[in-house]
């Protein structure tokens, strides 16, 4: 088996009961989002995934920002649902 095939197989196996969400793709997409949050003094932490819902914690400047709900729903949730199959909702804690 080639390295690429082994990697693809490992990626499928890392869903760990999270439905059809590809966890490596989710983490890659969060890394894509992270620099925009960090530019404003914030960041995010992936708390977990349950039944199509991604649970995040917004930290730093994002944690106390009054616009964090808008950032979460209009930005982060939209990007994740567009790029990661199986993501239906994003919640912040």
Residue closest to 73 by CA, chosen among 86, 85, 87, 59: 87
Q: Which domains does the chain have, with CATH numbers?
A: 3-92 (3.30.300.130)
Query: pTM for this structure?
Result: 0.76
Which of residues 1 and 31 earns the better pLDDT score?
31
Mean pLDDT taken over the chain:
82
Q: What is the pLDDT of residue 58?
A: 93
């Amino acid at each position: 088996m080639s390295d690429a095939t082994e990697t693809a197989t490992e990626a499928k196996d890392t869903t760990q009961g999270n439905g059809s969400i590809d966890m490596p793709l989710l983490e890659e997409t969060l890394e894509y989002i992270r620099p925009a949050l960090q530019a404003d003094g914030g960041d995010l932490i992936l708390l977990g995934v349950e039944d199509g819902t991604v649970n995040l914690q917004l930290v730093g400047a994002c944690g106390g920002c009054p616009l964090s709900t808008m950032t979460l729903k209009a930005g982060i949730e939209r990007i994740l649902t567009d790029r990661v199959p199986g993501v239906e909702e994003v919640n912040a804690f």
